[in-house]
Each structure stands twice: as C-alpha cells, then as structure tokens.
A and B are shown apart, each in its own frame.
Chain A
C-alpha cells in the first residue's frame, strides 16, 4: 500500500483533513494552555516572592523593636545588617511612630527617595499600615515592603511583676515602621526561566501529541479508507472528487436504502398479520381433521391387535409344523441307517444260508471221490461270497443300526422337552444342554456350510422355563443361520457376571441395517420373502425373555454380522411357580 500519498492528494484525502484539523486545534489549545501556564506560574512565583519579602520585613520589624523603643542608633546596626545580608535586599529604613526616620541603610541609590521626600505621602502610608497590618507594592525594578513595629506595653498591676497574668492579653503598642526594598533582578531571571522551561515542555508535548494524533487518526480511519476504496472501485474512477464529499454521498445513499428497507419491513409486517390469522384458521381446521383421523386410527389399532392375537396363534402352529418337519427329517435320517443296512444283512444271510446248505450236503454223502470234489466246490463258494470279510461287514452293519436307534431315541427325548412347554414349570436347568438340544431343530439344509463353535463358560443352572428358552435360542440361531445363507460361523458364548448369565450368539451373516435394528423385535417385522418369515420370531422371544426378567441386546454391522446377547438372571426376582394358563 502506498503509505505516503503524493502531496497533491492531501487536499482530497480525508485522513489528511482530519489530521490537519486536529493538529491545528491542538496547536491553538497548546498555545492558550502555554500562556495560561506561564501566567499562573508567574503569579505563583510573584506571590512567593512577596511572601518572602513580607516575612523578611516582619523579621526586621521584630528585631529592631528594642532599638526603635530606645531610639538608640547603635542597636539598629546589627539587625539591619543581617537583613541586608540577603542578596536581593537593597535597602532598609526604620521610622518611629511619629514618622521620623530613625535609621536607613542602602546598597543602591535611594528607591524610596520620592516617598521619603514627601511627608504627606509618607503619612498616608503609615495610616494604611496601621489599618491593614502591612503594605507592599512594586516598581519596575523593585518590590517595596512595609511592616509595623510593635512593642509590649507596661503591665497594669504590681502583681504582674511576680505572677503570670492569664486573663490580661499581652497588650502591644505601635512604636514605629520598617521598610524594605528588594531588587527585582533575580525575580526577573526566575520569570525568564519559567518562560523558557514552560515553552520547552509545551513544545516537547506538542510534537509528541501531533505525531500521536496523526498515527491514531490513520489507524482509526483505516476501515473507513477501505470502504472508500471499495466505493471508488464500484463507482468507477470518477473519484477525482475529494474523499469527504464521496463519503457523505455514499452515506446518504446508504441511509436512503436503509429507510427503504425499513419501509419494506413495515409493509411485510402488516401483511404478515393477515397471513398469521389465515394460518391459524387453517390450523384449527387441520386439528379437527386430525382428531377425526385419530379416532379412526385407534379403531384400526384395536382391530390390528385382534389380528395380531390370531397371528400369534398361527405362528405357534407354524412353529409346530416346522418342528414336526424337522423331527420327521431327523427320524428319517436315523431310520435310514437301519433301513440302509437291512438289504446287505439280508444278502449276507442268504450267502451264509447257501454255504451252510453245502456243508450239510457234504455231511450226508459217503466218503468217496465225490467228497473231494464237493470240498473243492465249497471252497469255490466261500471265495465267491468273500467268506473271510463277511463278519467284518456284518459288524459294520450292526454298528450302523445301533447308531440309527441311538439317534432316534435322542430325538424323541429332545422332542419331549420341546413339547412339554405348555404345562411347563420354572425349574433349574442347565443352559448349555438347552442350547445343545435346540441345535438339531435348526433347518439342516441351511446348516451345511455353517460351523457352530461353542465357547461355554462356567455358569450356574438358571431357574427358567426350559422349553420356552429353548424356543428363544432356536429362533435366534435360526435367524443367524438364515442370515449367513449357507456359509459362515456361528459362535455361541456363555459366561456369568453379577448373578446373571449371558448367552451370546455371534454370526457372520449379512447384518442388520442401522435404522432397522430397533425394529427387529417388532411383531411382523421381517425382511424375508413372503412365506418364508412371519416376523414374529424375535417378538415372541422378546416376550419370553421379559417373562424371565431378562434382556436381549442386539449389535450388528451390515456385511459383517450380528450379535444377539441374551441376559438372564439366575432366578427371576418375582418367581412365578407355575404359569399354566
């Protein structure tokens, strides 16, 4: 930025204008202030000198009073000389009360000559002193001071010779006058010094002040200068005019615009009132509509609740169907072990029967050459039926049958737990065995590529309705397996904490979207195709866990998986012994 503009711009720059005005005001003020200061100081200095002179003449009057009393010339010398010892004191004169000069001593020519030669003037001076107690005046080169000389008067009684008399004030009598002439030489020097000093100080302050005010004005007007710059840019370089008129024009424009704006605001305000009342009416109409809608809604809600009740019932039926399907499949599997083994057993038994018949033939034949031939035939049969491996195969088949029966027995046992739910009672149950017994009911088609990992912790038995809890676990696991769509890991973790058992099902499935996570427990909420899911599974589970005074927490990340954590108290606080109905 060009700090110091060319000189010819000064007249136009408002900064310069303000600075110049300020500086000239400061100059005038400083000049007046200087004059006043000098005047005051001079006055104070003069007063000081007069005071000093008066105290000197008073001292003189005091010290010569014995001499005046006795009118002894000799006695004057010492006190008068001591006063004349002061540098500026040039003359001392002593008179008695009749006006006769008793003593006079001077260093210069007689400044009082005129007065002393004029007895009338002198008498008037004495009269003045008597009245005012002192007198002083100035001539061009000297101060003149007068002071009366007093002396104590005689006491009135003989007793005062011996005692202090308190009540009689010390009476005094005017016995003469003392005059002192003090030259103005050092006084004028002092005044000159005052002039020089004051002038110097004022000049110093003035230069600092002018500099400071210039700097301050520049600082303060910088924002204004910026505005001005902008205005000039906007109005084009027609800125040959000076800054101040440009500024006032700009401000004028701004004020006009402001007034217009206020006008507009006022109009808008008036229109607004009308609009507000319209809106209020509309709103009240809306409200009545809303109330009507609300009534309808609550009716619908009642209907819906009814429907839900029915659906819950049908869900139960559906679950039952699913379960039956599961059970059938399982039993089928187990039976397959047995039925698969049966044809082989039959064939082996046939082979063995044939072999045994050949032996019987041989027993009944007499010994002959035929016997040797028959033994060879038996040997050939043995090779044919792989006699050596026949028993091994047999044992294998029996093991298969055994497996089939064990599985069937187990399924039936599990089914017992599951079916007993309606008439169940709260009992202490091992959560781990509940989980284990629920897993077989998961849809086995979906389970194929899924690994189930169990990380069972050390937990105490929980007082619960085991069948219902199993239903919850099955539901959660079923959802998890469904979410993984045939590939992934289901982690089941249990632990105990603060008298509560935590059961956590961690899957690596598709996960739940953030805005849906709060809705998964809502009845009928499902993301599955029509016919596949009813959306009631988690809703029912939620009710069951609540019945046990527990909680279910869900956390999930889309694409990574979900965690369903069931938390159950070791025993529900309000312990319902039976929940038949």
Chain B
C-alpha cells in the first residue's frame, strides 16, 4: 500500500506532532510548579512514530499503550486540557483524575487500557484483537510498547498466542534505546537484552516484521499502513520496530527539558544550532526534521510555521489553565468505580 498526503494533510500531521511536543514541554513546567508529583515519562523524540501509526488506523481500530502514553492519546485527537487534567489528578480528566500519567486512557477514542506495568498492555491487546476477530468487520489493534517490554515473559507468550490464533494485532515496538545511557548515575533504564536485533523475536514466531526510522513520520506512516493492512486483511499479527535516538531529557530517571523549549526557528535557521545537543536539533528531533522537510518542499512557509506554533502554544496554555482550574475529586469519592 502506498500513500500520498496532501499539503494540507502534511501540515496537519506536523501540527499534531508539535502539539505533543508543546504539551510535554508544558508538562515539565507544571511538574516544576508542583502541580503533580508522579513519576512521569515524556513522548519527546517519538512524536513521529505515534502520530504516523495513529494516522494509519481507522476510527474503529483499538489501541493499547504504556507508561509513555501521552503522545498516543494526543495523536488520536484527545483534548489536551482533559489529558493534562488527568495527569494533574483533576476530576475533569479523562479518567476523573484516578489514572494520572500512567493510566491516561480515552475509551471513546478506541483506547482499551494504559498499563504502567512493562509488558502489561501486550496481552490485553491480544484480547482486543481476539474480540475484533470474532466480530464482523476488519478492525485491528495497535499495541504500543517500549523495547523493555521484550524483557518480560508475557510478551513472548502473547506473540506466540497471537501467531497461533492469527490475531489482527499490530505490535508497535518503540525502541528508544539508541544512544541511551541506562542506569548510569541513577538514570532511566534502558534495554537489557541479549537480542541485538529485536525483530528476531517476533520473527521466530513467524510474525512479519519491519524496522523503521522512528524519527521519520512519512516513513513510519508507510510502514504502519502496510502493517495495518496486513492485520486488516486478517493475515495475522505484525511487528513494527520504530527506532529513535534517546532524547537527552529522558536520560535521567526524572525527565528534564535538557534541550530547552523547542526553538522552531532551528528548522530554517541552522545558525541557531550549536552546543552539546546540536546533533539532536540537526538530525534527531522528529518535529524539527519534519518542519524542515515541509519548509524545503514549499509545503509551508516560515511565517505559517511560526503562526502554527503560536496557535499550538495558545492551545497548550489554555489546556494548562483548564487543568489547573479544575477541581480535584474529593477523598470521599475514592471508593467509586472499584466495581462497575
């Protein structure tokens, strides 16, 4: 399956990636202001993957995700205000504030669940695929998980079972361990695997695989479209391996805006790029890469990009204010929703 996005569509895709970026940057500020306390995980550096995979899905498709879920939810069109409210534990959040960053999930957008247990979402995604396969129609499931999930036994059990049952599930392994430092200096964990090429794992179950550059939104979209088509045609599970460079801000255990707030002018003015993160700005940042590509292709002008950024910034500022102005659910309601 090939694709071609119109200029307007490309612009919309970039805008969505930028929305995720500004959302995450805003979240760091909210954390610094003590608006929430939880250990949290940012999607910065992986925006191209989430947006492209979600672009390849239809409205009836389902999604399962992990602790690094903010980008997936926003890519699917979640309201940034309600998403931020959830992370801040407010009653206007998508889960009434009970789920927070780790369980941010939007059922009306097709999310089945968000699990903070590494490997937790893979078995659930199989279940959704099982149900969709029994039902008429051609809907599929996308399961987003990190490279670390392939260290948990449940992932192997699930891939085996999905292959046996020929389940319509697209496993989206977001491998962000390229250039990762791991636990050095109390940093964020990284891949601890004897397998050098993670696609060897699904391959041994006979699951088709494809590795893509997770920074490149159009490349990921093309591969995701092929993967989704495979599952939609009921040919069984498929494994998409999207590799991205570890963003410097996700090297420590607690996120930091290591590369500052994204300066979009770096997309057209290379002289602004310097310092220890020059390679990130120049080669790895998926938002800057796509902005640069669209500028070069004449899809967008500098002033249009700047205007897009202002409108995204306004949306995020309003979303943050909405979240901060929203009430916390009362302690007295903590027993609500233990059972249906």
Chain A partners chain B: no
Interfacial residues, chain B to chain A (CB-CB below 8 A): none
